[in-house]
Structure 1
Amino acid sequence: MDEGETLTANGSNPRWQLDQDLDNIFYDPEEGYPSVPLKKVPFGDIFEASRAGDLDRLRYLLDSGVNVNGRDSWDSVSLYYTCLAGHLEAARLLLESGAICSEHTFDGDRCHYAALNLRVRKLLKAFEARPPPLQPLQSALRDTFFGCEANRVGNKEFGSIRAMGNPSSSDTSSYFPPDVTFFVRGNPIEAHRVILSARSPLFKKRFETDWRDRRVVRFAKEKLSYRALYSLIHFFYSDRLEVAVDDMEDLVRICKVCECEELQKVLDKEIIHQKYAEYKSLRDIDGSQKRFILQGTSLPEDDRLPASLDRVLQKSLAISSGGMGIEDTQSVVISSSLRERDMGNDLADVCIKVEGKTFRCHQVILASRSEYYKARLYRMTGFLEGKDGIHTHFLPQLEEHDLSADSFKKLIEYMYTDGLKDIDPDQAEEMFDAASRYLLFPLKRAVADALIPHLETASSAELCHWLILSDMYGVGKIREYCLDTMACNFELFADTPEFRSMLLTIPPPSSDSSLRTTLPSAPGGNAKNLDIANILDDLREKWLEAEAAELDKRDESAALFDKRLEILMLVAQHENLNINSEVGGQEEH
């Protein structure tokens, strides 16, 4: 009888099931090794990398934004191939990156039954029904929610949020002061007005009227469930709802009052499902109650966190001043007051001045997304609009230098929405620099995603510029796009003076033949001397792949490529000398 198979009391053989306590099951250590030897696929897609167990290539592809749950032409996901080949670490990487593997689903059952060995099955069971990682915006705001001590204590008491691990009771690194605290039956929930107003019409109305100046709100209704309200407010921050099944009816009532209609519809249907179908979800070892997990992506786009904060941002931008100087500030405040009266309070609590323009922003958003702003806002004292004779709003004011107003507008667009609708290519370099300065590194990915459509029609000279720029700022997606384009159209680029001139500004390719073949510096490689890796090494590898060079002729083809580069460099040096001579002659005349 196979391991994990059991017999009932009457000796019959039930449906195959795996022992819950997998750590105590004996298994042969040889089962932990893949059936196919690990190999490198430096240019393979996510399915090839999964079959090969190439961790470096998988990490690169996942960092580049490849859909971990995407399907190939055979309708299979990458996790299926990893399980089939028995690559434990590759399977772990895919699962940690959001690969979904729930039993009693098409993909989940395929992965469970195709798993080559017991170690992979154990891993799948551990990740069963685990939600995918949160996006940067949701993750940052969730950390801010748990940065509040009352919320950490509440989560620890009744184990509300388990999906991504319980926050440490002593973790204050993500703390940002709440501006409102709710008490339900004596239990506090700390929150920030702008988040709640963005997600719920009820909270928005109350913060503009009854609760406008209140920092503490106490609910007297005995029937109000603390756990249900806690789960809802956590959902407002993270776009992920995790609630005990027994609390779902209470949550539906709260959603109805808070006017969260779409969420209420989903919960209503799930409650009916609970009554007529067996519910499957995570269970603790101690037998705690079943939980319902809902991703924000299950709701219409307008009801998700990025769209909600985008509406807040657009309102703030409409109220913000547009390029007035200090002498016009009084009129700005008057017009802002009129617009606030017409549009409702945007709950802004800080002003950022850039190139004479004032942007009304929200401290909790800036601090959650950027460590730079968190540190600066904590130290902010005495920077008030009232210093210039304005005594109406008294919002703290900061000023940014060496950044254009248009680029700052794009910066806060990403902070509030986790994306960029479009971008002017002329802004890209400034945005890459801002991403580093403001410690907002995922912004580079968003800029690259918005920039790729522009690169499809870019000239060879522009692609050379973007290659150097992306290599300088470490923007892998643009760098890969430029290298792929150059490798597939190498002779076309070789005929341009811009490409030849670029060769003089970057290090030459390595002369170590081992780096050309078995240890390429391209993504997925495993070169020992990483200092040798450079643009031309990667271009060579991509050119060899594009030319489909046979393996036994790879070194010969690489040598021909290097020889071609040497000739192009000599031509570039000659052209450079001619240009300098012409310039010198013109200066003499």
Structure 2
Amino acid sequence: MSKRHSWTIDPDLDGIDLEPEDFGSSIPLKKVPFGDVFEASRAGDVDRLGYLLESGVNVNARDQWDSVALYYACLAGHLDAAKMLLESGAICSEHTFDGDRCHYASLNLKVRKLLKAFEARPPPLGPLQAALRETFLGCWANRVYLDQLDSQSQIPGYSSNGGFSSSHFPPDVVFYIQGRPIEAHRVILSARSPFFKKKFETDWKDRKEVRFSREKLSYPALYSLIHFFYSDRLEIAVDDMEDLVRISKVCKCESLQRVLEKELIHQKYADYKALRDMDNSLKRFILQGLSLPEEDRLPAALHRILEISLANSTREQNVEGGVDNLVSCIGAMQISEFEHDHADVCVRVDKKIFRCHQVVLASRSEYFKARLSRMKDFFEGKNGLPGILPCLEEHDLSMEAFEKMIEYMYTDGLKDINPDQADEMFDAASRYLLFPLKRAVADVLLPHLENVPPAELCHWLVLSDMYGVLKIREYCLDAIACDFETFADTPEFRSMLLTLPPPSGDSSLRTTAPSAPGAGVNTDQGNLLDDLREKWLEAEGAELDERDESALLFDKRLEMLMVVAEQEKSSALADSTDE
């Protein structure tokens, strides 16, 4: 379920200011068709390296000499290989063990300048991690501490990256360490730590505040750990790492504890070689969630919580009657739950009640954040019973579609989907302001589209164009352009032409509806037939001086097909009238 989120540096960084003398000699490139990520980086084999990274190899893994792949690419002076590793999440920041090694080992200035270009630009988080991190840092106490770190420059690069929404989602528990608060949400902590899960079910079950009296408990270490629970990214001063190891052991975060213990050895070795009296900067350690086993990452943790909630939700599937009967159903669900899921809201869809978590819904969807923020009592303002979970009612949505939607909201992915549900899922993504869901649905559907007949592919082209699903739209256009005559012989394709604006260079003619509120403006999607013409020209390999003539031939071919489509439409109407 977890997928690697690649990223690209700003376009202006592609033209890093390099002098002629920067381009010193590098170790000759070699091909290592069966090599691992370290061999591919050392050889500069970007084809092999790209294949390994796409396969999910941990870009920050260490080999038997405790070196990372980026170190070998820098050591050999392979700029393209180093850039590919950095774009895939390799850590290169200064004041880290691996970052300093890569800087010092760089064969030439061009590689060193590339590393500097990526300084303080960690790869962006996935949609789930970014949304929950914003919720965590949107809490007042957490943001205050982060601002203090930024102002003191204690941990360079550990910044909020700009404005947080003033309408943040409130926490449901606050920890006080030596009088300093950390705000959090029970379900996130319970999902990531067996220690917190047990405490919230026993000693801390009804407590809104938890005060720690131990003087030796480190506030920065606990803050960094809780921030990691939300974001799958850990940044901490090296001086606080021993405290973090102890806290990780108490919280039963075993895989994280092992990584930290091993890293402490590297940091002690780095301190041995460094002149600490001359370097007063505070060293730090950065850890990406990809360095941990998949089952210990945020999506897998929330998936386990979701499975428990869905199992509890199936207790009452047939909800009939009015509000009173619904209240009794929700009460029965709470009484009969077989495993604690920390649910704090119910969502009724059709005849099923889903147990959900407000912080996940609000973090992933502005629609749910608005609904939950104005929900004061049971049933959004209607009088209810104390102790019963609040409930939202959603209409014009099937139970199956909602279950798939929350699967994505909790895990950032979909295991599978019924192609017949795609239309409803695309519509739900727009209605609930959950636009990345469209890409997740497209990723699952693409293998299915490889085997559909031309007539069905025309349906998918119109559907993807209408909802702005670029990945499916591009796939359909490529398939039609590469086998145009086969589609031209298909009645469904000819019929589709009658529903589309004619090809033109006028950008005001669009085939898509206006963007929904909150959606990014899509400048890549224009007139559908214009784009099909461009794809066809590329497939035909038309020379530049022949493109205008070839485009004219394509437009004439479309006109002939539309005439045939009109005749077929008239014949069909005449036949239906005779009947």
Q: Report TM bin, short chain.
A: 0.7 to 0.9
Which residue does the alignment assign to 2:209? 216
CA distance in 2, matches of 1:387, 1:153: 36
Which residue does the alignment assign to 2:122? 131
1:329/1:158 Cα in 2 relative to 1: closer, same or farther (>3 Å)? same
Deviation string, structure 1 residues 361-405 (Cα, Å, up to 9, x no partner): 1111111111111111111123249979x8574111110111111
Q: Does residue 1:102 correspond to 2:109, yes or no?
A: no
CA distance in 2, matches of 1:153, 1:167: 14
Q: Match of 2:536, as an amino acid?
A: W
SS in 2 for 1:241: strand
State the 1:567 CA deviation: 1.3
Deviation larger for 564-573 or 137-146: 564-573
What's the TM-score, normalizing by structure 1? 0.75
State the 1:95 CA deviation: 11
Contact 1:510 1:532 (8 Å CA) reproduced: no
Which residue does the alignment assign to 1:336? 333
1:163/1:450 Cα in 2 relative to 1: closer, same or farther (>3 Å)? farther
Deviation string, structure 1 residues 39-76 (Cα, Å, up to 9, x no partner): xxxxxxxxxxxxxxxxxxxxxxxxxxxxxxx9853757
State the 1:163 CA deviation: 3.8
State the 1:171 CA deviation: 3.8
Q: Match of 1:102, as an amino acid?
A: C
- Residues 160-309 of structure 1 aligned to structure 2 (within 5 Å): 162-163=156-157, 165-166=159-160, 171-173=164-166, 175-277=168-270, 288-309=281-302
Deviation string, structure 1 residues 495-528 (Cα, Å, up to 9, x no partner): 100001111111111269xxxxxxxxxxxxxxxx
CA distance in 2, matches of 1:288, 1:456: 55
User: Which residue of 439, 443, 464 corresponds with 1:449?
Assistant: 443
Which residue does the alignment assign to 1:60? none
SS in 2 for 1:73: helix
Structure 1: unaligned runs, 5 residues or longer: 1-27, 36-69, 513-529
CA distance in 1, matches of 2:50, 2:393: 52
Q: Does residue 1:487 correspond to 2:481, yes or no?
A: yes
CA distance in 2, matches of 1:380, 1:577: 55
Q: CA RMSD in A?
A: 3.8
State the 1:551 CA deviation: 2.9
Q: Match of 1:566, as an amino acid?
A: E
What's the TM-score, normalizing by structure 2? 0.76
SS in 1 for 2:341: coil
Deviation string, structure 1 residues 340-370 (Cα, Å, up to 9, x no partner): 2x32x21111111110211111111111111
CA distance in 1, matches of 2:108, 2:556: 48
Which residue does the alignment assign to 2:404? 410
Contact 2:177 2:219 (8 Å CA) reproduced: yes
Contact 1:384 1:396 (8 Å CA) reproduced: yes
Which residue does the alignment assign to 1:581? 574
Contact 2:103 2:115 (8 Å CA) reproduced: no
Which residue does the alignment assign to 1:322? 317
Q: Does residue 1:73 correspond to 2:47, yes or no?
A: yes
Contact 1:460 1:496 (8 Å CA) reproduced: yes
Contact 1:407 1:431 (8 Å CA) reproduced: yes
Contact 1:101 1:127 (8 Å CA) reproduced: no
State the 1:97 CA deviation: 6.9
Contact 1:196 1:233 (8 Å CA) reproduced: yes
- Residues 283-432 of structure 1 aligned to structure 2 (within 5 Å): 288-320=281-313, 321-326=316-321, 329=326, 332-333=329-330, 336-337=333-334, 339-340=336-337, 342-343=338-339, 345-384=340-379, 391=385, 393-432=387-426
Q: Does residue 1:545 correspond to 2:538, yes or no?
A: yes
Q: Match of 1:139, as an amino acid?
A: A
Deviation larger for 325-334 or 570-579: 325-334
SS in 1 for 2:346: strand
Contact 2:178 2:212 (8 Å CA) reproduced: yes
Contact 1:152 1:167 (8 Å CA) reproduced: no
User: Which residue of 422, 430, 433 corresponds with 1:436?
Assistant: 430
Percent sequence identity over aligned pairs: 64
CA distance in 2, matches of 1:247, 1:367: 32
Which residue does the alignment assign to 1:63? none
Contact 1:138 1:239 (8 Å CA) reproduced: yes
1:488/1:228 Cα in 2 relative to 1: closer, same or farther (>3 Å)? same
State the 1:276 CA deviation: 2.2
Aligned length: 490
CA distance in 2, matches of 1:314, 1:569: 51
State the 1:331 CA deviation: 6.8
CA distance in 2, matches of 1:337, 1:575: 60
